[in-house]
């Protein structure tokens, strides 16, 4: 079924897959975040082992006009390491929860990466030239005796093998008692926010020893705790506006101009619930796992366990669009609660034009919805479909009694193969899909 | 299905709406059926749906508790009874302090940092 994400003849093709093939997946290799930079030239991944791998798109070559630029490894480094907080008896995982790129301001690239407690600003710079013919030192770097220098020469720049270096430039620590779930760079390019279960903090990118608390939902008595913050994001254009979502399925939009502490929201988004359909699971499956503004800044999208909702920022009482991701799981909630899958946190993303949205599901399936045509498609990230430029076939889960050929029944779905993290190139139809320890890159078919 | 059900929340998905009406004719929604199943297996599950217990567990993720007094007493018990008390909780609730970590239980120090296979 074509047509999602582009015109009517649009189809997705396999482009690349990164990662090991072996069945035994080491926990450290599980990808925990995927993010394109602003131009789409770079693609960063973080994993449970605290490592970051950055891929760079190759320039399109005249020799192979049919293959769009491929993504190859540009840099890799250990961002976070496991720690133990002795004072609180707390084990701090090195898992990278989120990576967010900073807008590029010079030749170097910068990104923020965070684990549960500490945010780090990494600068990635490359060198492809070196100077030769220094006056004060030898070719091997040893300083020359200044009295021995009898003539001056001008050093020359010579090409060298490209060397990419990543260095931590800022470490933003000790500001979160609870586990950080989100970071978001502000449109002013000077500040960013970080959110944990109960608080949201505002930082200046240059200042590491101070951060402003702008939201605090911790109750005076922890027994009264009813909801936690699940995600937060800055508005893409208005630097005074941000949103945060909760485990109760609500979103609060705050304006930092209104007060120093944004405990009182400016807007409150919640879809009214039908009280007759309420069950033990209602609150759990309404918990929002991701919130993303559209590029236009006019809409925002939220992901809860079974659906994706698009909200118009001007309408608080209900979403303008609701897309069912895997409604067939509603009759499996008991077992999904027992195996903890009901707590899986799926992310969602917009395409560059805000005309399509994508999110993951189980069995290495991921879903795309076209907002204009209202068409949707289910695709699979699997090694079986990994011939270069192979067109991805639409997948279908059979919900009724009769299972058609090529359909898969709900009971056959592999719930260990979850696609939680996906990313869409900011300008083109290129997507990155993280399937446990493998990263798949798909592109649109070139005619 | 042309009957409107009162109080139903607006949904832009027509198919689910009709499905819901059909299922409602059988009185119990799939979600409620799942709830009944769950309560049958875990009768002591918190009265408050998805409430403070779950949230508190989420906030306490990563917390390790160790008491040297308990540890030594448990070790002494082993000498006498050749058996540590059963540790795995039957239900979702975990009781702090019941599980005494022993050197065998504590996970080995994480292996030295290895490069990511994505970069390989």
Q: Does B106 touch chain A (CB under 8 A)?
A: no
CA-wise closest residue to A286 among A242, A320, A333, A243: A333
3-class state of residue A18 by DSSP: strand
Question: What local confidence, expressed as pLDDT, does residue A65 receive?
Answer: 59
Question: What local confidence, expressed as pLDDT, does residue B62 receive?
Answer: 76
Helix (H) or strand (E) holding A269: strand A267-269
- Picking from B37, B52, B113, the nearest residue to A223 by CB comes out as B52
Q: Does B49 touch chain A (CB under 8 A)?
A: yes
- Number of A–B residue contacts, CB under 8 Å: 137
CA-wise closest residue to A19 among A10, A28, A11: A28
Per DSSP, what are the bridge partners of residue A212? Answer: A202
Question: What local confidence, expressed as pLDDT, does residue A382 receive?
Answer: 94
Search chain A and give the residue with CA nearest B33: A331
Q: How confident is the model at residue B113 (pLDDT cuts 50, 70, 90)?
A: low
Pick the more confident residue, B111 or B7.
B111
Report whether pLDDT(B111) > 60: no
Q: Does A5 touch chain B (CB under 8 A)?
A: no
Between the CA of residue A245 and those of A196, A226, A230, B60, what are the distances in Å?
A: 11, 14, 6, 20
Nearest CA-CA distance, residue A298 and chain B, Å:
20
Question: What local confidence, expressed as pLDDT, does residue B79 receive?
Answer: 67
Give the span between the Cα atoms of B50 and A346, in whole angstroms: 19
Pick the more confident residue, B54 or A165.
A165
Run means of pLDDT, 10 residues per run, chain A, 447 residues: 53 94 89 98 97 93 68 96 86 96 96 98 95 87 86 93 96 96 98 98 98 96 92 98 97 94 92 89 96 98 98 97 97 94 97 97 97 95 89 90 83 96 97 97 82
Question: What local confidence, expressed as pLDDT, does residue A139 receive?
Answer: 80
Report whether pLDDT(B6) > 60: no
Question: What local confidence, expressed as pLDDT, does residue B95 receive?
Answer: 54
Does B9 sit within 8 Å of A76, measured CB to CB? Answer: no
3-class state of residue A447 by DSSP: coil
Q: How confident is the model at residue B22 (pLDDT cuts 50, 70, 90)?
A: low
pTM: 0.85
Question: What local confidence, expressed as pLDDT, does residue B47 receive?
Answer: 61
Give the model confidence (pLDDT) of B83-94 as tens digits: 444 444 333 345
Give the span between the Cα atoms of A312 and A438, in whole angstroms: 35
Question: What local confidence, expressed as pLDDT, does residue B108 receive?
Answer: 56
């Amino acid at each position: 079924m074509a047509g999602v994400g582009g015109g009517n003849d649009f189809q997705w093709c396999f482009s690349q897959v990164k990662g090991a093939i072996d069945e035994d997946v080491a926990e450290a290799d599980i990808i925990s975040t995927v993010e394109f930079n602003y131009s789409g030239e770079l693609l960063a991944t973080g994993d449970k082992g605290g490592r970051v791998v950055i891929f760079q798109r190759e320039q399109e070559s005249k020799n192979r006009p049919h293959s769009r630029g491929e993504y190859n490894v540009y840099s890799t480094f250990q961002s976070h390491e496991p720690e133990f907080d002795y004072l609180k008896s707390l084990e701090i995982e090195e898992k990278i929860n989120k990576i967010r790129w900073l807008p590029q301001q010079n030749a170097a690239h910068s990104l923020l990466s965070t684990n549960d407690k500490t945010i780090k600003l990494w600068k990635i710079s490359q060198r492809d030239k070196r100077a030769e013919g220094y006056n004060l030192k030898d070719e091997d770097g040893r300083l020359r005796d200044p009295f021995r220098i009898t003539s001056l020469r001008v050093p020359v720049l010579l090409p060298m093998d490209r060397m990419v270096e990543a260095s931590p430039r800022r470490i933003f620590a000790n500001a979160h008692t609870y586990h950080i779930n989100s970071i978001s760079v502000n449109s002013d390019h000077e500040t960013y926010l970080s959110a944990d279960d109960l608080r949201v903090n505002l930082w200046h990118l240059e200042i590491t020893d101070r951060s402003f608390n702008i939201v605090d939902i911790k109750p005076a008595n922890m027994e009264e705790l009813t909801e936690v913050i699940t995600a937060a994001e800055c508005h893409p254009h208005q630097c005074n506006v941000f949103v945060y979502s909760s485990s109760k399925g609500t979103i609060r939009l705050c304006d930092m101009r209104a007060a120093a502490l944004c405990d009182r929201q400016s807007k409150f988004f919640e879809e009214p619930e039908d009280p007759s359909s309420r069950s033990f699971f209602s609150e759990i499956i309404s918990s929002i796992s991701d919130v993303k503004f559209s590029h236009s800044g006019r809409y925002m999208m939220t992901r809860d366990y079974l659906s994706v909702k698009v909200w118009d920022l001007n309408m608080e009482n209900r979403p303008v669009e609701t897309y069912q991701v895997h409604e067939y799981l509603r009759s499996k909630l008991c077992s999904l609660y027992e195996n903890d899958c009901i707590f899986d946190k799926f992310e969602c993303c917009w395409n560059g034009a805000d005309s399509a949205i994508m999110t993951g599901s189980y069995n290495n399936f991921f879903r795309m919805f076209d907002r204009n045509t209202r068409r949707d498609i289910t695709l699979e990230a699997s090694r079986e479909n990994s011939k270069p430029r192979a067109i991805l076939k639409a997948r279908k889960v059979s919900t009724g009694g009769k299972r058609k050929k090529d359909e898969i029944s709900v009971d056959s779905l592999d719930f260990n193969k979850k696609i939680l993290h996906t990313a869409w190139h900011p300008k083109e139809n290129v997507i990155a899909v993280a399937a446990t320890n493998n990263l798949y890159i798909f592109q649109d078919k070139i005619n | 299905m042309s009957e409107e059900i009162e109080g139903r929340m607006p949904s832009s998905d027509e198919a689910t709406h009709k499905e819901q009406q059909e299922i409602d004719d059988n009185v119990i929604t799939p979600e409620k059926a799942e709830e009944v199943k769950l309560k049958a297996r875990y009768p002591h599950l918190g009265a408050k749906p998805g409430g403070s217990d779950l949230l508190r567990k989420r906030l306490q993720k990563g917390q390790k508790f160790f008491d040297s007094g308990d540890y030594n007493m448990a070790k002494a018990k082993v000498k006498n009874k050749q058996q540590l008390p059963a540790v795995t909780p039957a239900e979702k609730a975990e009781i702090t302090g019941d599980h005494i970590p022993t050197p065998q239980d504590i996970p080995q120090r994480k292996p030295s940092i290895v490069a990511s296979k994505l970069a390989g």
